[in-house]
Amino acid sequence: MTRRVLVLGKNGQLGQSLQKVAAQYPLFELDFAGRDRLDLESAESISTFFDRLEQPYAGIINAAAYTAVDRAESEQELARQVNQHAVAQLAGIARQQGSYFLHVSTDYVFSGQACRPYTEADTTAPVNAYGASKLGGEQALLASGCRGGIVRTGWVYSEFGNNFVKTMLRLGGQRRELGVVCDQVGTPTYAPDLAAALLELLKTGLDSTASDAQVYHYSNEGVCSWYDFAVAVFELSGVACAVSPIASSAYPTPAARPFYSVLSKARIRQLLSAPIPHWRQSLGLCLLGLQEHVNS
């Protein structure tokens, strides 16, 4: 018997990656919704969508978010609506309808002052408006009493949408040399890997008797800086572009970034059926996919 699952954020990186891996999980009947069906910027849109349902979903995956980190500094109200208030509304609906609610959050809920991987129990202290809005969403979900999970991740990239890897490839084709920040450290996350982990976690959650929500961390394995990531992109893709390491102070942005946001995956690793791939391995798969797309 398949279980109907609503996936929000149909057209985003993660939403498209969930569509890519969906066939591997025949247990689920995934219903992908974009902003045309359910707009997280509108409380009325959310209410109307669920009021019209003939039967509740077994699970809800929220892969939608306001992710414009720098713009969030000047659009704080909008960021909070999508990342906090909408999440609170969805969590309330999930509790009322008995749906398992899986919500994707961010490593940016942390200050970046640590010197070891962050665990789920570590103190949160976001350094920008985006991180604060995502933390607000986490707190709202946990306070709602719904069954579910929060999955923090970071540095997400894929063959879809706009992301660091595609930006590097574009710039690398235009320039002979680039300067990339070397003092921000984390772990890249290949969106299809994250998508598969979410569906495994959803299966575990639906079968669990736990009545509260849990927090998990997921990224690929390994640690690197943005500079290291860029070097690997060009090395593995064969693009002849030199990369120079620069300090964050030389590349000022409206929003501050955490200098260290490596996540400990010890908790979620126990629930996954396969080892988490290293970021370089997954980067190679992504670059191969992008090349195949160009050649097709």
Please identify every residue annotated as catalytic.
Answer: 130
Length of the chain: 296
Region of 156 (left: φ > 0; alpha: ψ -120 to 50; beta: rest) is: beta
AA identity, residue 173:
G
Q: Are 59 and 201 in contact (CB under 8 A)?
A: no
Q: Could you give the count of Cα atoms lying within 13 Å of 199 in the half-sphere of its Cβ? A: 27
Q: Counting beta carbons within 10 angstroms of the beta carbon of residue 156, is it exposed (0 to 12), middle (13 to 18) or buried (19 or more)? A: buried
Query: Phi/psi class of residue 145: alpha, beta or left (left: φ > 0; alpha: ψ in -120 to 50)?
Result: left
d(Cα 279, Cα 221) in Å, to the nearest integer? 6
Contact 226, 285 (CB under 8 A): no
The two tokens of residue 204 are 């575990």
Spatial contact of 216 and 152, defined as CB atoms under 8 Å apart: yes
